[in-house]
Amino acid sequence: MKIVTASQMRDLDLRTIAAGTPGSILMERAGSGAATHILDFISRLDPVQVRRFVLLAGKGNNGGDAYVCARLLRQMTPHKITVYSVCELSSLQGDADRNAGKLPDGIEVIVKKQLAPADFHPGDIIIDGMLGTGINGKLKPPYDQWIPVVNQTCLPVISLDIPSGLNGDDGSVASAAIKADMTVIIGLPKTGLTIGAGPELCGILRLVDIGILPDLTAKDLDDVDMPFNADIAPRLGRIAPQVHKNSRGRLLIAGGSGKYCGAPFLCAAAAARTGAGYIRLALPRSVDIHVAPWPSLVLNRLADDKMGSFSDESIPAMGELLNRSDAMVIGPGLGNARSLVKFMNYISTCKLPIVFDADALNMIAEVPELYLGKDSNILTPHPGEMKRLLSAFSLDEYQDQDRTNQARALADATDSTIVLKGHRTIVCSPDGRLSINSTGTPALAKAGTGDSLSGMIDTFAAQGFDPFEAAETAVYIHGLAGELSPYGMRGLRPEDLIDLIPVAMKHISPFA
């Protein structure tokens, strides 16, 4: 899905209307889609946390979306619905006026010049329909007073299209902006959600397709994408009935050391849940396994340096395993023993798609000449590893630049696809494609979740996905799995995440 500026979105709206879709239909679709996502959001909350919907309605189209949403929520749920409006309904115009007039009995509409903490209660779900993407400059009354009050409530907040007060173009906040737990994007994602304060304010992201004509979005737009379910679903299509284990991807995972033996098992378990047909795990022979391997995992113990790390002695057996594999992961729990240098250089000469993660990236940063880049490789650094890699490849001028520029520079320097992990993970290929991930949650900020991601990426690479699409698909599913956690933000373990991978894929595709 293309990322657009606020003015580009307005132009797309107008061109869609000119092509025959009335603005009232676009607004109805926006409100209907938002209501559906809101119901999905509250389904993962404890019932005691959901007692009333409070919609904050502005004067313009964003307020119109809120009125549609209020009407449909009234039809879909038993919960009480209250609308706080910034103005008398008689002063509304256009589609906002028409939809306010359609509100059914039972929805309380209260016009307020100011909000107070007493206007909200435990169990309220606040829906922000105050300001759209056109905000520029400091807030005017009553928004300058409403927004700080909302942010102090400690209640769930869902913004329609963009958090009120956030600039849709540059992600700036002139005075104050809503801190949302979910933003329901209308039409196409806005640039301001991805830069500046946007990533910190928008919470999880959901998209409503209001019917912008595809031929309009295919031209005159930037080359940065943000994937959503509709973009990923075609990649998770039907699996041919005649497939067998070797045609579903043969993975080789090399990792583990005397200090870290669990990471490669997390990687392998995630690959299995993603759909890999055959998984081989290569561990140094001296490693004492503290994790019970499951029966279907093929475990290979390779000669090592006698201290729990791969070495020159590991190369012959590794060569045989590579010949029986479609793709490889190296790095989880690998360690940093000096015996690894020649082994890593040998791996780098392999023709297979390879995901380099964790300690493999640190080895490359320490000895960059051992890495022989190729466009089927995928590097998956977190911010600290990225900093070291930029220095290793003489890209220090990018250290203080934004994450998209860093990813582009390293992709070009290494001729590899880069997965720059973190909030709004960035995927960039050496041919210039770049996407900013739309899924993810702080629940994933735990050691071990990155190991799972590597196994997922490698599964899609082994199944023949283009490296960029393999990475983009896995990153999206990985983030969504975290969002679907029944354990909340704090209780999710990396081990739990693995079992949520197929749940996330079923959420995306009926063929998962």
Q: Quick: pLDDT tens for 137-161.
A: 899 999 999 999 999 999 999 999 9
Contact by Cβ (8 Å): 333, 450: no
**How many domains does the structure of the chain reveal?**
2
Residue 85 shares a structural domain with residue 29: yes
Q: What is the DSSP string of 65-129?
A: HHHHHHHHHHHH-SSEEEEEESS-GGG--HHHHHHHTTPPTT-EEEE-SS--GGG--TTEEEEEE
- Is 448 inside a domain boundary? yes
* 3-state DSSP percent of the chain in helix, strand and coil, to 5: 45, 15, 40
| Residue 324, in any domain of the structure | yes
Residues 293-303 have a mean pLDDT of: 91
- Using a pLDDT cut of 70, give the percent of the chain over it: 99
Is the same domain home to 259 and 191?
no
Residue 171, phi-psi category: left (phi > 0), alpha (psi -120 to 50), beta (remainder)? left
Residues 197-201 have a mean pLDDT of 97
Q: Point out the domain boundary residue: 222, 248, 273.
A: 222
Q: Are residues 108 and 218 in the same domain?
A: yes
The answer to whether residues 201 and 257 belong to one domain is no
pLDDT tens string 93-126? 999 999 999 999 999 999 999 999 999 999 999 9
| Judgement on whether residues 118 and 18 belong to the same structural domain of the protein | yes
* Mean pLDDT in residue range 466-484: 98
- Residue 436 falls inside a structural domain: yes
Q: Is residue 227 part of a domain?
A: no
End-to-end Cα spacing for the chain: 21
Whole-number pLDDT of residue 113: 94
Q: Are residues 80 and 146 in the same domain?
A: yes
Same domain, 405 and 299: yes
Amino acid at 148: P
Contacts of residue 466, defined as CB under 8 A and 6 or more positions apart, other chains included, come to none
Asked, for residue 13, whether it belongs to a domain, the answer is yes
Query: 315: which 2 tokens?
Result: 């190369």
- The Cα–Cα gap between 171 and 200 comes to 10
**What mean pLDDT is reported for the chain?**
95
Distance in angstroms (rounded) separating the CA atoms of residues 277 and 246: 6
Provide mean pLDDT across the span 346-357: 96
Q: Do residue 70 and residue 149 come from a single domain?
A: yes
Q: What is the pLDDT of residue 507?
A: 96
In a domain, 194, yes or no: yes
Domain stops at, among 222, 249, 264: 222
User: Has residue 228 been placed in a domain?
Assistant: no
For residue 155, what is the domain's CATH number? 3.40.50.10260
* Angle at alpha carbon of residue 351, lines to 422 and 245, rounded to 5°: 80
Exposure string of 168-182, with b = 16+ CB inside 10 Å and e = fewer, is bbebbbeebbbbbbb
The answer to whether residues 312 and 420 belong to one domain is yes
- 123 and 90 in one domain? yes
**pLDDT above 80 (res 127):** yes
d(CA 74, CA 89): 19
- Domain range for 107: 6-222
For residues 59 and 151, what is the distance between their CA atoms, to the nearest angstrom? 21
The pTM of the full predicted model, rounded to 2 decimals, is 0.96
Residue 229 lies in a domain: no
Both structure tokens of 22: 């009335």
Q: Which range (202-211, 254-263, 480-489) has the least confidence?
A: 254-263
What tens digit of pLDDT does each residue of 389-407 get? 999 999 999 999 999 999 9
Show the CA angle centred on residue 115, arms to residues 109 and 116, nearest 5°.
120
Report the b/e string of 201-224 with b at 16+ CB within 10 A: bbbbbbbbbbebeeebbeeebeeb
State the Cα–Cα distance between residues 87 and 95, nearest whole angstrom.
15
Q: Are residues 213 and 239 in the same domain?
A: no
**214 has a pLDDT exceeding 80:** no
| Percent over 90 (pLDDT), the chain | 93
Of 166-180, 214-228, 466-480, least confident by mean pLDDT is: 214-228
- Nearest-angstrom CA–CA distance, 330 and 289: 18
At 218 the pLDDT is 59
Do 166 and 47 share a domain, yes or no?
yes
Per-residue pLDDT tens over the stretch 172-185: 998 999 999 999 99
pLDDT of residue 260: 86
Q: Of 168, 188, 222, which residue constitutes the final position of a domain? A: 222
From residue 242, alpha-carbon distances to 235, 246, 259, 265 in Å are 18, 12, 42, 29
Q: What's the CA gap between 450 and 504, in Å, rounded?
A: 17
CATH number where 349 lies: 3.40.1190.20
Average pLDDT over residues 429-448: 96
Cis-peptide, bond into residue 142, ω within 30° of zero: yes
Non-local CB neighbours of 481 within 8 Å, separated by 6+ positions = 497, 500, 501, 503, 504
pLDDT confidence of 422, banded at 50, 70, 90?
very high
pLDDT in tens, 46-97: 999 999 999 999 999 999 999 999 999 999 999 999 999 999 999 999 999 9
